Amino acid sequence: MKILQVLTYYQPHMSGLTIYVERLSRALARQGHEVMVLTSQYDTSLPRREVVDGVQIHRVPVLFRISKGVIMPTFGHWATLETWKADVVHLHLPQFDAPGLALRGRLFRKPVVLTYHCDLQLPQGAFNRLVDRVVGVMNRLAGGLADAVVTYTRDYGVHSPFLRRYVDRKLVIIPPPVELAACPPDEAAAFRYEHNLDGRPVIGIAARLAAEKGVEFLLEALQKVLVVFPNVRVLHAGPYQNVLGEEAYAARLAPLFAKYKHVYTLLGPLRGATFTAFYQSLDCLVIPSLNSTESFGLVQIEAMMNGAPVVASNLPGVRQPVSMTGMGEVVPIGDADALAEALIRVLRQKEGYVRQPQLIGDSFSPDQTAREYLALYQRLQAGQRPAITTEPAAYERLRQMNALINGQSSM
């Protein structure tokens, strides 16, 4: 099958969306399918075309940017050619160009699948509010033309203004793909030694430095955590320098980073075995996100697979990994005191929160995600409507595991 994946940014750009599409595309290629990623050449040093891990990448030149969006005059030409060659068109939103792709799929009689990763909420400002509205209109046009709309959880689906219109009509829930590179014990030990972690409780956060990630609430919560755990360390994995559109936010947090520099370490982007070593070093991962630009938090599953419980904001979708597995705590959005108290509870009794890493990993494997998408593609190719389910079997298995463990612990 020839599968066209379309999104605005792709690797080496790092975000939850790009990581999702990268993992899915690699898994589809491993299973013998021809995958083409159509995306922007957001950095002129990147090649226009290349093949990475069996996935073909076609980057379209960018003329200029509007906020975080890109303007690509030749995109329509290449979208037409690639759609014509594909068997299925898979769009990843938010994306300004999505309606044109969806319309091409309709005209060429190709199934159109739309995965909605999160709501778009740009920084404050009249211009950004206008961009929000325009992208919202484009998303709705694309959703109307798509044959199926996919998201990670029904919880996010029923709370998202965009997704709720498709519930029980063409909204499909598919678990996101999660995988990590193997990390030999000596490499994990070297990571702990490099960052002087032995004998210290370690809190982790894995996110780019962006306003919606709520990093300031973790920094504020540290004051209380340090009273109970004076030797605690915080490791922050993810881009923090020159993050597109987040320069003002970084400047605002700079004094807090300086205040806690003896506790808080900005690691920058991590990949491969080093990222796994990061997770293996944690006693707890925190997701203090503030709004619906965060729809799940793939890093939660990555942490859980390595035995680290999670403290997550009570956001639709984001609260689901903890809710399904019982592996952590959910706290009110933007509440530094509640965040501090939950972190202290988890650090005090980490083992009481840990669940079965293998079952969690299997439930979110990229190959499993790819198989579920392929079943959807094939169903649409056969002219059938998408099969609507309230919750995937993988999620039900995780809930049963948690219920069994809770039942045993209450005896």
Query: Which CATH number covers residue 267?
Result: 3.40.50.2000
Confidence of residue 124 (pLDDT cuts 50, 70, 90): low
Task: Judge if 255 and 166 occupy the same domain.
Answer: no
Report pLDDT digits (tens) over 315-337. 999 999 999 999 999 999 999 99
Task: Judge if 340 and 373 occupy the same domain.
Answer: no
Question: Nearest to residue 290, comparing CAs of 158, 119, 94, 78?
Answer: 119
CA diameter of the chain:
65
The predicted pLDDT at position 410 comes to 45
User: Domain of 81?
Assistant: 2-177+365-394
- CA-based angle 402:406:410, to the nearest 5? 175
CB burial readout 231-240, b (16+ within 10 A) else e: ebbbbbbbbb
Task: Judge if 203 and 318 occupy the same domain.
Answer: yes
Rounded average pLDDT over 137-153: 93
Task: Judge if 104 and 238 occupy the same domain.
Answer: no
The predicted pLDDT at position 390 comes to 76
Name residues whose C-beta falls within 8 Å of residue 226's C-beta, 6 or more positions apart in sequence: 232, 263
Task: Judge if 147 and 67 occupy the same domain.
Answer: yes
The predicted pLDDT at position 409 comes to 55
Return mean pLDDT, the chain. 92
Instruction: Judge whether 127 lies within some domain.
Output: yes
Task: Judge if 204 and 190 occupy the same domain.
Answer: yes
The total of structural domains in the chain comes to 2
User: Could you give the strand order of the β-sheet that contains 202-206, starting from the edge strand earlier in sequence?
Assistant: 264-268, 233-237, 202-206, 284-287, 310-313, 328-331
Task: Judge if 142 and 287 occupy the same domain.
Answer: no
The predicted pLDDT at position 24 comes to 98
Instruction: Judge whether 406 lies within some domain.
Output: no
Contact predicate 212/15, CB 8 Å: no
Confidence of residue 411 (pLDDT cuts 50, 70, 90): very low
Task: Judge if 275 and 308 occupy the same domain.
Answer: yes
Task: Judge if 109 and 62 occupy the same domain.
Answer: yes
Confidence of residue 122 (pLDDT cuts 50, 70, 90): low
Report pLDDT digits (tens) over 233-243. 999 999 998 88
Domain boundary among 342, 359, 376: 359
Task: Judge if 257 and 280 occupy the same domain.
Answer: yes
The predicted pLDDT at position 408 comes to 60
Q: Is residue 155 exposed (0-12), middle (13-18) or buried (19+ Cβ within 10 Å)?
A: buried
Instruction: Judge whether 402 lies within some domain.
Output: no
CA-CA-CA-CA torsion sign (19, 176, 118, 377): positive
Instruction: Judge whether 403 lies within some domain.
Output: no
% of the chain residues with pLDDT over 70: 96
Task: Judge if 294 and 234 occupy the same domain.
Answer: yes
Report pLDDT digits (tens) over 253-264. 999 999 999 999
Residue type, position 152, single letter: Y
Strand partners, 219: none
What region, left, alpha or beta, does residue 55 occupy, with left being phi > 0 and alpha being psi -120 to 50 degrees?
A: beta
Tokens 């320098």, located at residue: 241
- What is the value of pTM for the model shown? 0.87
Instruction: Judge whether 280 lies within some domain.
Output: yes
Report pLDDT digits (tens) over 8-35. 999 998 788 899 999 999 999 999 999 9
Contact predicate 199/316, CB 8 Å: no
Instruction: Judge whether 243 lies within some domain.
Output: yes
Q: Which range, of 300-309, 324-333, 381-390, averages the lowest pLDDT? A: 381-390
- Cα–Cα distance, 204 to 254 (Å, whole number): 19
- β-strands 55-61, 49-52 pairing: antiparallel
Residue 58 has pLDDT above 90, yes or no: yes
Instruction: Judge whether 88 lies within some domain.
Output: yes
Instruction: Judge whether 120 lies within some domain.
Output: yes
Rounded average pLDDT over 381-399: 88
Residue 125 has pLDDT above 70, yes or no: no
Task: Judge if 38 and 147 occupy the same domain.
Answer: yes
